[in-house]
Amino acid sequence: MDRRTFLATGTAAALMPAALTASAAQGDSPRTQHTLPSLPYEYTALEPFIDAKTMELHHSKHHKAYVDGLNKAEAEIAKARESNDFALIEYWSKKAAFHGGGHALHSLFWNIMAPPAKGGGGEPTGTLADMLTANFGSVERFKKQFTAAAIAVEGSGWAILHHRHSDGALIILQAENQHKLTTWNTTPVLAVDMWEHAYYLKHQNRRADYLAAWWNVVNWQQVQKNLKP
């Protein structure tokens, strides 16, 4: 998918708040400074399922670090281009992928959660429910596979539901860190952060408890909006 196509999707707007949309300020470069998106709810809003302290640290420290890291990596790559010195291009390319992955996935993660009184939890309905049933047998089977994939993430990483462009299939994959083991030509529509910083304060090493709580704040309407048209 080229950039124009990506930006034409609703997903792009959700994933890239104010990042790519306000570009074109640097001559004809499509790049700009990435910024930390505001949460669509307060840090306390997902209590008791996700505690406020975890949300605050996760958003204001961890996600912020990915935004800063992405800006730094892109600035270094631009410098290398200007000086024609690509000695560190491998290093900065990896940094750009790692931090860029972190920025995109966290931006998605905040948007697919909501307080239970404002759209979080319950069960998917409509088109999304039909697609989950067609792809996984039932919504319950989808949730079991997604939960199993999340619990089994080795070290730090994510479980991600992707909408594949070539055939419209929904597939569940893991991502190591923020950017490894993923695939191409898909749109991520639902993701759960399995880094310890996402759950350790409240659940310590009990990943299953974290996931059982997390399903109560999944915003299924947003997940459906994230599907590629």
195 versus 215: smaller Cβ distance to Fe ion: 195
Name the minimum Å distance from CB 63 to Fe ion: 7
**Burial category of 171 from C-beta neighbours within 10 Å (exposed 0-12, middle 13-18, buried 19 and up):** middle
Given the complex with Fe ion, which of 74 and 193 has the nearer CB atom? Answer: 193
**Helix ranges (DSSP H) in the chain:** 3-8, 10-15, 52-57, 64-83, 89-111, 126-136, 139-151, 200-203, 207-214, 220-226
Nearest-angstrom CA–CA distance, 189 and 187: 6
Tell the smallest beta-carbon distance from residue 168 to Fe ion (Å).
29
- CB nearer Fe ion, residue 6 or residue 195: 195
Q: Nearest-5° angle of CA 63, CA 67, CA 72? A: 140
Where on the chain is the footprint of Fe ion (CB under 5 A)?
Answer: 193, 195
Q: What residues are paired with 160 via a beta bridge?
A: 173, 191
Shortest spacing between CB 214 and Fe ion, in angstroms: 13
Residue at shortest CB range from Fe ion: 193
Q: Which is nearer to Fe ion, 111 or 135 (CB)?
A: 111
Which of residues 107 and 135 has its CB atom nearest to Fe ion in the complex? 107
Question: Cα(222)–Cα(184) distance, rounded to whole angstroms?
Answer: 22
Q: How far is the CB of 138 from Fe ion (least distance, A)?
A: 29
CB of 158 to Fe ion, least distance (A): 8
